[in-house]
Amino acid sequence: MSTASYLPVVDAAGFQAYPAPAKLNLFLHVTGRRADGYHLLESIFQLVDRQDTIWLRVRNDAAVVHHNPLPGVPAESDLTVRAARLLQQHTGCQLGVDLRVDKVLPMGGGMGGGSSDAATVLLALNRLWQLNLSRAALMALGVQLGADVPFFLFGRTALVEGIGEIMTPIAVPEQQFVVLHPAVHVPTPAIFGAPDLSRNTASVKAALLAGELDWMQLHNDLQAVAVAKFPLIGAQLDWLNQFAPARMTGSGSCVFAAFSRQSAQKNASQNQADAVISCLLEGMTGFTCSSISQHQLLDFATD
Which of 52, 78, 148, 299 is catalytic? The answer is 148
Task: Collect all residues with Cβ–Cβ distance below 8 Å to 58 and sequence separation of at least 6.
Answer: 95, 96, 97, 128, 129
Which of 23, 52, 78, 221 is catalytic? The answer is 23
Q: Which stretch of DSSP H or E encloses residue 206?
A: helix 205-209
Q: What's the CA gap between 120 and 138, in Å, rounded?
A: 11
Length of the chain: 303
23 is catalytic: yes
- 42 contacts 60 by C-beta, under 8 angstroms: no
Q: What are phi and psi of 94, to 5 degrees?
A: -95, 0
Identify any residues that bridge with 167 across adjacent strands, giving them in sequence order: 160
Crossing angle between the packed helical segments 79-91 and 113-128, to the nearest 10 degrees:
40
Q: How is residue 294 annotated by DSSP?
A: B
Q: What's the CA gap between 10 and 266, in Å, rounded?
A: 32
221 is catalytic: no
Q: Could you tell me the CA-to-CA distances from 21 to 45, 116, 133, 211, 283 in Å, in that order?
A: 12, 6, 21, 26, 25
Active-site amino acid positions: 23, 148
